[in-house]
């Protein structure tokens, strides 16, 4: 079944904040099961369970039971995922709500793929409800999400606060005083929902976060990432996503990929077979696709492409390229003759 994931940028922001609070980086990587290369590309994905382990390791290594609250309070949403800042420049907060849900998946994508947040209106009161399933299994995500939403709003609005109360389904923890300090509003525990209460008047509030030109660039990139994310729901898509950053390291083996997916080699083989492919075929076709992108765009030389794709020597790459296309990579890179007409 599809795996819940978070953006590598979100995991990196969490790790960096924990390190700034005194946690040992090496211990964070070891305890979470994350390897540094997984965080190199901010647009790549990290298994949600590794993020959970990272959060819990951070709490313990920092000696801070309220670590998730402090993470949400201190780290801006732009560090979690820039896509979460995309808005319609002329739209109200209500107009942008569905868009926030859409691009929020790039920060945290749950396996069910549904809308995480809903709006529930009660006369002049509006609840922003987090519908994440089994939230009390990992209440730290609710803590950090709500703390970030409230504190970011307070900063953007010069101290004004659209939220009037916050509700949590989990029981009150020993650090209730920190909730009161961070949220500065009524906090209810053991509620029937994880939600933030605001007034209906805020639904018409115009949001202006980024210049239109920046907004459009981010939107185009976010749409590309969403397409990639949906493709990764298949086992093949997930394997391709994990393989890409490993190619140049020479570590693109079935064992390495199975380990990162939390699967045995046999289970990975079975899942790929069910989709009509083998690991070797996925690797070969990924290399072909990337080779055409690298050389077709004139981005790299043949030798550089061979390195980026994990070939032991340019000659090996040239043989593979000829098998894929019927011509040599150097012929593809050769300058084209231009007409004087």
**Angle, helix 8-20 to helix 48-62, in steps of 10 degrees:** 10
- The β-bridge partners of 47 are 5
Instruction: Read off the pLDDT of each residue in 143-151 and give the average, rounded to a whole number.
Output: 95
What SS3 state is found at 125? strand
Per-residue pLDDT tens digits for 242-254:
888 888 888 889 9
Q: 336 falls in which pLDDT band (50, 70, 90)?
A: very low
CA distance 84 to 226: 12
Residue 18 in this model has a pLDDT that exceeds 50: yes
Overall average pLDDT of the 198-202 stretch? 88
Query: Please, which pLDDT band fits residue 201 given cuts at 50, 70 and 90?
Result: confident
Q: For residues 196 and 150, is the Cβ–Cβ distance under 8 A? A: yes
Give 45-104 pLDDT, tens digit per residue.
899 999 999 999 999 999 999 999 999 999 988 888 876 666 555 567 777 777 787 888
Q: Which comes out higher in pLDDT, residue 93 or 197?
A: 197
Distance CA 165, CA 150 (A): 10
Report which secondary-structure segment, H or E, holds 117: strand 117-122
- Highest mean pLDDT of the ranges 205-209, 235-239, 313-317: 313-317
Which one is predicted more confidently, 130 or 336?
Answer: 130
Residue 339 has pLDDT above 50, yes or no: no
pLDDT of residue 207: 66
């Amino acid at each position: 079944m599809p795996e819940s994931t978070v953006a590598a940028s979100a995991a990196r922001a969490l790790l960096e904040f924990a390190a700034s609070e005194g946690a040992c980086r090496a211990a964070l990587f070891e305890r979470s099961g994350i390897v540094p290369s997984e965080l190199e590309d901010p647009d790549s994905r990290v298994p949600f369970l590794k993020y959970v382990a990272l959060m819990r390791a951070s709490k313990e290594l920092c000696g801070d039971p309220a670590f998730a609250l402090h993470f949400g309070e201190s780290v801006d949403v732009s560090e979690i995922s820039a896509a979460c800042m995309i808005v319609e420049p002329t739209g109200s907060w209500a107009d942008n709500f569905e868009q926030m849900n859409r691009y929020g998946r790039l920060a945290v994508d749950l396996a069910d793929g549904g809308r995480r947040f809903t709006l529930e209106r009660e006369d002049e009161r509006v609840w922003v409800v987090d519908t994440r399933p089994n939230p009390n299994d990992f209440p730290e995500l609710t803590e950090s999400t709500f703390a970030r939403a409230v504190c970011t709003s307070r900063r953007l609005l010069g101290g004004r606060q659209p939220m009037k109360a916050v509700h949590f389904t989990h029981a009150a923890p020993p650090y209730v005083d920190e909730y009161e300090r961070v949220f500065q509003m009524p906090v209810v525990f053991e509620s029937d929902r994880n939600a933030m209460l605001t007034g209906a008047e805020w639904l018409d509030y115009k949001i202006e976060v980024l210049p239109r030109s920046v907004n459009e660039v981010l939107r185009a990139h976010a749409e590309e990432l969403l397409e990639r994310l949906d493709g990764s729901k298949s086992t093949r898509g997930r394997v391709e996503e994990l393989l890409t950053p490993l190619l140049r390291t020479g570590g693109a083996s079935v064992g390495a990929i199975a380990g990162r997916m939390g699967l045995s080699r046999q289970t990975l083989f079975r899942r790929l077979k069910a989709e009509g492919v083998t690991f070797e075929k996925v690797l070969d076709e990924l290399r072909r696709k990337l080779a055409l992108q690298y050389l077709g765009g004139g981005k790299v030389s043949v030798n550089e492409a061979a390195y980026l794709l994990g070939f032991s020597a340019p000659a090996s790459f040239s043989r593979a390229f000829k098998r894929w296309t019927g011509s040599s990579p150097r012929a593809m890179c050769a300058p084209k003759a231009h007409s004087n007409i």
